[in-house]
Structure 1
């Protein structure tokens, strides 16, 4: 970048609406360049810089153990644990330079695998027993419920068998978002090993090629969904051991499934006993001091991304998970909170000025650029996805062009669109023009992950799409021989929403675990209010496997939809064309990837002789339709019939076919070679 200081102006060529903010973009890129030079000097790269885990924490040497910690404002540190019967005086650390402390323990048996440790930190006249910052595992005491660090140094290192695996950058992502703990049907917390054995084969069979794991970084409160991290280098002990996680990822890779980590660098838990807050006795070691360091909505601590030591801690964390656990990339959580001093709360991002103001956190933008640079250096095929509700321009533009460097952004407006539509509009009032606009409007040259419903909608206080559509009828009318109008409508609309979303909503697709078969009810983690029950913190796979229930229809549809879109590379096509928007009768026809799609959203009317524009002459055949019996449909479409194009008198004399389109169905047609039928 230093060789061509004007290269980042390319972002303005890509999005001319950014021209008035050229000086702001220059300010960002100057911050990037100067901060990078200050951190790395002239020759170092991010991969060489981000090695905190190799220096700090516990390391087994030939003749003993070395333990190092960063606590610049502490007065004294003492290592305590099972090895010294928790005596706070026998093993003091020595202070070295730059706020570092260290101690050498002679003998390789001085610390044993799975032994518990803490460090007593004396600062400002207070003594606190803390969990080491770079610990790889923590465990909870059954009696006191206190957490402690645990030495993880098994006799035999895990043997990986995935050297040939990497994500093909040309292949669109079909993401299965999941929470290991609630992936089991039992009323309890699922484990990594149970997930590997029981859930990975389901994901593979359903056609998903990417697994997105939530709640992997250690969090003391199970019900936080993993978004209040306490120990950034530790695998969540709720689900098993570090080696159990490695086995899961290794197995996924052998199945051809990539694995993304839900990375939480937007904030940290405020807990002192379990987390990193006030480790050296100050509130500003990792976070902004005072009010600026507190998230007003989440009750968590906010990182100071302008501090070199914080950047080092977080970038080292990114490299650690990529190299130690072979993750294939990240979904960055809470990016909107990082980008703005107001955390994006209560702000409507209605025009570009909202992205370029005094409220924009340039230090956070620089950190995210560094993070993407580092990830490319460590693994050039790794994928990064930004969860940003604000729509920051340039999020998925290369850093060298003036962007933030992510591969994808989540299409967060799409689930909101569906909830708003279902809540506020009767079926007959849905706008086809609005659906087309909302599903196809994206920032130029920026890729999106489309999804029809978020994991947040599955939580108590909200509803999944299927539960919102069907309500209490799901409890009593999901038998296949029960002809419930409410359930029939729910299934038909659910299928339509998912198919049009995967077709138009992004260059990748995401589904949250269980939504592929319309999992009923909500997620409610064990808490005092429900008598610590796990009844709603699980996935009832047996509902989908019961051949007497309609959940199977939705499961079949999701699997066949994924496979059709994937094998025909519909997401990779960039030639989407609106063929006809029928606002009066609620139909939408489009062309993409060589296929013609006809969505009939009409709640009651089927059209036996609908004029469907195809944009070119030829013979067409239906290759996919949602009205098949295996999807809960009525099999009203002849999949063998050949449709010949003609002039459509009621469609402005366009070229097309005349076809039967049942209400609330989607049909996909393909032009066929005359010699093949």
Structure 2
């Protein structure tokens, strides 16, 4: 009996071999008392397959693999006693037309550091996890959407650069752990979202053109080093979300494209199997072995590496057959529509499976269209994601914030429109890396006005974002006012924190994040009007928004007032819901945020004075571009 049994092949053919990564690839095992490595690869169109590597001097004929023929699914296997952990290897695919393809292992647990393209044999993992308490608590999260979630999106290679030039200036996973956890805890984020972890060849793709779906990138260390990072973050109370890219893959010669000389992982018809806009291949979601490959990858990150959620990239490109394509470049489905029915089934399968097997794990869709019920139940025709990125909110918000304040009055609805569809999905409000690259400017640089006004605008914008229903995501650097656009080639401009404007902004965002975590009104009822009420959504002329966030028990509700114009009001009146005292807990004009207030009245008792259609109101000195948050 070899490594890959008939049962393994049956499950693989049904797309239900959920531990496929424990069988495919390279695995150190003992056979007949001899320790070596079993190699397994799926290459049904190949004429023959050899495994080559450091254990045989890359000899192309000495280690020919056996094709398993009961049943014949195109799986090749070989036990190699000479192979040892740490050695590099590849699969040499002999094609029927006499060609040779030198392929990295699709299931490799580790790859050679780029620009090398070989896979690396990894010893069985012996890492001793210390995050039992975190994992137990995660499994208890039945109603995860009622918990706080403020996500810090991080590209590890450019968050900070190591002061020495070794390893391209990258911090290792282990080196990153403490400093990243310290920063995230201090600022008050609940989660980090890591970009560019699955192995990829080109730094400039940021990790979105993957060649190793089962391998943490070797840029920052080994798989066990990556485990240490996740474990350490968990021990510090920080959740970890991973970017995962099942939408497409690159055409690099060592990768998945035309793996065995013909389309295998991709659709055979180029009208379905290629993204003309991106120059990449599209997975064949109708092929069970391909679905199993992707499902196994997702489960491995969650179950072997303890990842708390996957943010699925480019979901819209998977759902629509004509995404990014001109007429003639795509094929309609069997009913004549543009929906990829196989991708729909894939999402329903994987989301139901992952969330069923791993309570508390979240699946997040980066989906940019109006596709219905992305977070809806499968029984109701939904895709069963946990959350959807609210791209509509993001575009409207940025369109408004970039405007000169004079013109904001004509665009007031851009800030209120998202509430009209808020109940349709479970949303995450995002200001991600995509919004601060490629001539889009940093968040600070998008703001109108001179330097001081830019910072005030940004504080007002972040306050509105944190108060608005939906979980939150902010890309690294934007919480202290990064000026340059982000580039993967350099670290963030941390020196800016020596500038008072930037340090004041950082302190402001930090206080916002801690308020968010402290008050259940900010997150308990994100998807219901029971958790939100406009006080005045129509004050377009003055550019002021006021609203209330409500907790389930009615205690410690929050009143938000946000002024998006440079006009100050000595006694701005705002309607309130009841006669309770309102305590000021955030004031953008506070001296610690760079304002002029050193002492401001904290407690405000509502008067019976009609305002905003309310019987009671409070008066408050509202500064230019000022924001205030009251608890009552």
Distance 1:469 1:456 in 2: 17
Match in the other structure for 1:36: none
Query: Which residue, out of 463, 467, 475, partners 1:499?
Result: 463
Distance 2:471 2:571 in 1: 34
Q: Structure 1 residues 488 and 469, CA, compared in 2 at 3 Å: closer, same or farther?
A: same
Q: Is the contact between residue 503 and residue 571 of structure 1 (CA under 8 Å) also seen in structure 2? A: no
Q: How far did residue 369 of structure 1 move? A: 0.8
Q: How far did residue 40 of structure 1 move? A: 7.5
Match in the other structure for 1:622: 584
Match in the other structure for 1:575: 531
Structure 2 residue runs without a partner (length 5+): 1-9, 164-168, 328-334, 551-556
Is 2:86 aligned against 1:114? yes
**1:658-677 → structure 2 map (5 Å cutoff):** 658-671=619-632
Q: Is the contact between residue 288 and residue 303 of structure 1 (CA under 8 Å) also seen in structure 2? A: no
Q: Is the contact between residue 581 and residue 603 of structure 2 (CA under 8 Å) also seen in structure 1? A: no
Q: Structure 1 residues 582 and 637, CA, compared in 2 at 3 Å: closer, same or farther?
A: farther
Match in the other structure for 1:175: 151
Is 2:555 aligned against 1:585? no
Q: How far did residue 643 of structure 1 move? A: 2.6
Distance 2:565 2:294 in 1: 51
Distance 2:440 2:207 in 1: 19
Q: Is the contact between residue 609 and residue 617 of structure 2 (CA under 8 Å) also seen in structure 1? A: yes
**1:409-424 → structure 2 map (5 Å cutoff):** 409-424=388-403
* SS in structure 1 at match of 2:218: coil
Q: Is the contact between residue 394 and residue 402 of structure 1 (CA under 8 Å) also seen in structure 2? A: yes
Query: Which residue, out of 77, 87, 101, partners 1:102?
Result: 77
Q: How far did residue 615 of structure 1 move? A: 2.4
* SS in structure 1 at match of 2:304: helix
Match in the other structure for 1:321: 301
Q: Is the contact between residue 256 and residue 265 of structure 2 (CA under 8 Å) also seen in structure 1? A: no
Match in the other structure for 1:34: none
* SS in structure 2 at match of 1:658: strand
Q: Is the contact between residue 431 and residue 586 of structure 1 (CA under 8 Å) also seen in structure 2? A: no
Match in the other structure for 1:376: 355
**1:406-555 → structure 2 map (5 Å cutoff):** 406-431=385-410, 433-442=412-421, 444-451=423-430, 453-469=431-447, 486-504=450-468, 506-525=469-488, 534=489, 537-544=490-497, 546=498, 548-555=499-506
Matched residues, number: 585
Match in the other structure for 1:562: 513
Query: Which residue, out of 114, 131, 136, partners 1:162?
Result: 131
Q: Deviations over 1:268-302 (max 9, x none)?
A: 111122x1111111024433432321102111100
Q: Is the contact between residue 231 and residue 276 of structure 1 (CA under 8 Å) also seen in structure 2? A: no
Query: Which residue, out of 237, 240, 258, partners 1:259?
Result: 240
Q: Structure 1 residues 294 and 193, CA, compared in 2 at 3 Å: closer, same or farther?
A: same
Distance 1:586 1:394 in 2: 33
Q: Structure 1 residues 357 and 413, CA, compared in 2 at 3 Å: closer, same or farther?
A: farther
Question: Which stretch shows the higher mean deviation, 285-294 or 263-272?
Answer: 285-294
Match in the other structure for 1:11: none
Is 2:331 aligned against 1:359? no
Structure 1 residue runs without a partner (length 5+): 1-38, 348-355, 471-484, 526-533, 672-677
Distance 1:240 1:564 in 2: 36
Q: Is the contact between residue 199 and residue 217 of structure 2 (CA under 8 Å) also seen in structure 1? A: yes
Q: Is the contact between residue 217 and residue 233 of structure 1 (CA under 8 Å) also seen in structure 2? A: yes
Q: Structure 1 residues 432 and 562, CA, compared in 2 at 3 Å: closer, same or farther?
A: farther
Backbone CA RMSD of aligned residues = 2.4
Q: Deviations over 1:87-136 (max 9, x none)?
A: 11111001112111111224xxx222211111111013101221112111
